[in-house]
Amino acid sequence: MRTETINKNDGNQRLDKYMSKRFKTMPQSLLYKYIRNKCVKVNGVHGKENTYVNAGDIITYYISDEFFVKKASDFTALKPNIIVAYEDENILIADKPAGVSVQPDEKQENNTLIDNIKAYLFKKGEYDPQTENSFSPALCNRIDRNTSGLVISAKNAEALRLMNGIIKEREIEKTYLAAVHGILSKKEDTLTMFLEKKQGENIVKVHKKSGADTKTAVTGYKVIAETGDMSLLEIRLITGRTHQIRATFSAIGHPLLGDGKYAVNKEDRKKGYNFQQLCSYSVEFKFKTDKGVLNYLNGKKITAKTPDFIKLFE
């Protein structure tokens, strides 16, 4: 038998969801078996899958000791390497350089952006994995490995819940900067495409009409500079789809400089542009409803450092 007290970062969630985060090595089938067999009590009462746990609740477990062993976290040994664009007690917005994965993937398992955020907060004494039961700082949005710019993370569970809702309800305006090939005939426009994600290929296909497997992608843009056969765009995402910007502008004949996934970038590589020249440049919070502990963010705008490709237009 073991007991633990739910802290504020673990409260206000279902028992099964909490245990899934708490016991990462426990098979889901076994987790639900323990609950069904009344091996978990909440404040002395047998818990059910949908029992909500809150800060201060006492959980009693009658389960194998092996699941309580906490492994050392790799990130604690990292020397944090992040650019902080904005930070307060609830969120941290990092300015990610191109070439860094936001989280572990097939190209980068360690030293990712989230690893460095955790290491940064660990060194500051704001996060200790040994004292948290299930919560760890988490990303609220993601950008491609070779896209630079702003990524929002939450420092606590309440901020994570609220920020995920803000993004889902589109109460945040994201602006990108991109260098694209060619001179656009329309200097300002809103483009609507239908994107089909190709499973297992990490690519999307653009369609002119909606289909059973497509998602609508709406992108606003404005040309802010031109030089030779290149244009600098300010882009506003009205929807947020995988590779939305890259696929959309390739489809209208203006692929991003350096993009080898949605265009042939042989000539771009010769000039030193080996990946898409795209930056998640700014985020502005525009709340329509009450956001609790994050209300102070309403109207705040955060910007990234100016990307290097801007120099092409100076």
First to last CA, the chain: 68
Q: β-strands 278-285, 148-154: how paired? A: parallel
The helix/strand/coil state of 95 is: strand
- Is the pLDDT at 83 greater than 80, yes or no? yes
Beta bridge partners of 214: 196
Please tell me what DSSP assigns to residue 22. H
Predicted TM-score (pTM) of this structure: 0.85
- Residue 62 to residues 35, 89, 162, 206, 247: CA-CA distances in angstroms? 10, 36, 33, 53, 52
Confidence of residue 73 (pLDDT cuts 50, 70, 90): low
- What pLDDT does residue 12 have? 86
Confidence of residue 290 (pLDDT cuts 50, 70, 90): very high
- Is the pLDDT at 72 greater than 70, yes or no? no
Please tell me what DSSP assigns to residue 256. B
Which helix (DSSP H) or strand (DSSP E) does residue 5 occupy? strand 2-5
Per residue in 90-131, pLDDT (tens digit) is 999 999 999 999 987 767 777 899 999 999 999 999 998 888
For residue 30, the Cα-to-chain-centroid distance in whole angstroms is 30
| 144 catalytic per annotation | yes
72 class by beta-carbon count within 10 Å (0-12 exposed, 13-18 middle, 19+ buried): exposed
Residues 6+ apart with CB under 8 A from 207: 193, 194, 195, 196, 214
Q: Provide the token pair at 4.
A: 């633990």
Domains and CATH numbers, the chain: 2-68 (3.10.290.10), 74-168 (3.30.2350.10), 172-313 (3.30.2350.10)
List 144, 189, 268, 290, catalytic entry: 144
Per residue in 50-66, pLDDT (tens digit) is 999 998 999 999 998 88
Of 57, 43, 46, 73, which Cα lies nearest the Cα of 12?
57
Of 36-40, 122-126, 129-133, 160-164, least confident by mean pLDDT is 129-133
